[in-house]
Amino acid sequence: MKYLSEFRDPELAKNLIEKIQNTVTQPWVIMEICGGQTHSIMRHGIDQLLPEEITLVHGPGCPVCVTPLETIDRALAIAARENVIFTSFGDMLRVPGSSDDLFRIKSRGGDVRMVYSPLESLKLARQNPDKEVVFLAVGFETTAPGNAMALKQAAAQGLTNFSQIVSHVLVPPAMEAILSAPTNRVQGFLAAGHVCAIMGWEEYEPIAEKYGVPIVPTGFEPVDILDGILKTVELLESGNSEVANQYLRAVTKQGNPAAQAVVDEVYEVCDRKWRGIGNIPMSGIRIREELAAFDAEKKFDVTGITTEEPAQCIAGEILQGLKKPDECPAFDKECTPMNPLGATMVSSEGACAAYHKYSRKGLL
pLDDT higher than threshold 60 for residue 361: no
Distances (CA, A) of 149 to 143, 144, 199, 269: 10, 9, 16, 17
pLDDT of residue 352: 92
- Determine the average pLDDT of the residues in 5-18: 92
% of the chain beyond a pLDDT of 90: 77
pLDDT of residue 311: 75
**CA dihedral (138, 142, 143, 144) positive or negative:** positive
Give tens-digit pLDDT for 195-227: 999 999 999 999 999 999 999 999 999 999 999
- CB-CB contact of 165 with 296 (8 Å): yes
CB atoms within 10 A of CB 333: 11
In this prediction the pTM is: 0.92
Q: Residue 310: what residue type?
A: P
**Domains present along the chain, CATH in parentheses:** 10-304 (3.40.50.11740), 315-356 (no CATH)
- Per-residue confidence band for 362, with pLDDT thresholds at 50, 70 and 90: very low
More confident residue, 136 or 98: 136
Where on the phi/psi map is residue 143: left (φ > 0), alpha (ψ -120 to 50), or beta?
alpha
More confident residue, 94 or 31: 31
- Per-residue confidence band for 360, with pLDDT thresholds at 50, 70 and 90: low
End-to-end CA distance of the chain: 40
- Determine the average pLDDT of the residues in 313-340: 89
pLDDT higher than threshold 90 for residue 155: yes
pLDDT of residue 107: 95
pLDDT of residue 346: 84
